[in-house]
A and B are shown apart, each in its own frame.
Chain A
Amino acid sequence: GNSVTQMEGPVTLSEEAFLTINCTYTATGYPSLFWYVQYPGEGLQLLLKATKADDKGSNKGFEATYRKETTSFHLEKGSVQVSDSAVYFCALSSYMDTGRRALTFGSGTRLQVQP
């Protein structure tokens, strides 16, 4: 079956540090890949996505590249801010026989950015 593995948190960084959150996946076919972010007390927000190999998703200074050869979709940001403190979820979407898109999530990585 499909699965997503992401690094355990919490990840604690100082403001303006470089961020990497690793994500690897197992899936059949050609899934789409996503990063969702969940700020304290809020729901999931789509951060970025990539739908095919070598695509780079980017938003708000965050980037992730769909690497089929390493089955990875690592999230990076060059300079984090305190406002980036949140839980980040890596996810993949695959097509099921029932017609639905199955979103499989990783367990989430909590990022804490200190001033």
Chain B
Amino acid sequence: GAGVSQTPSNKVTEKGKYVELRCDPISGHTALYWYRQSLGQGPEFLIYFQGTGAADDSGLPNDRFFAVRPEGSVSTLKIQRTERGDSAVYLCASSLEPGLAGGREADTQYFGPGTRLTVL
């Protein structure tokens, strides 16, 4: 079946501009995660959605970052007033619902190919 998809694959923007990154999770996965991966490092958690609500946004670095998932499927990560330090690969992952319904299988997150953001 189809995996997690992300668009665009690459985004180049200028400092101060606004960008939107899109994630389409695996069908039936109610949990959705955003991560940021800087060069030479492992991914770092940004925000977690269970259904339509952001259940945990503790990883967002500041209020320039925001994400939505209005219908419980596709999610959009929004970055305002971009800075050069925002340059990174932004990864989206999805999984079954954590908790009793998903069991241990909900521990497994499936990642998309990522969006490489470059802020000039």
Binding site for B on A (CB under 8 A): 4, 32, 34, 36, 42-46, 49, 51, 89, 91, 93, 95-96, 98-103, 105-108
Contact = CB atoms under 8 A, between A and B. Distances in A.
Contact of A95 (B48, B98, B113): B98
Query: DSSP class of A's interface residues: helix, strand, loop or mixed?
Result: strand
A32 B104 contact: yes
A46 B108 contact: yes
A114 B114 CA distance: 28
Contacts of B58: 98
Contacts of A96: 56
Interface of B: 6, 31, 33, 35, 40-45, 48, 50, 55-56, 58, 91, 93, 95, 98-99, 104, 106-114
Contacts of A99: 50, 55-56, 98-99
Nearest to B112: A43
Contacts of B112: 43
Contacts of A100: 31, 33, 48, 50, 55-56, 98
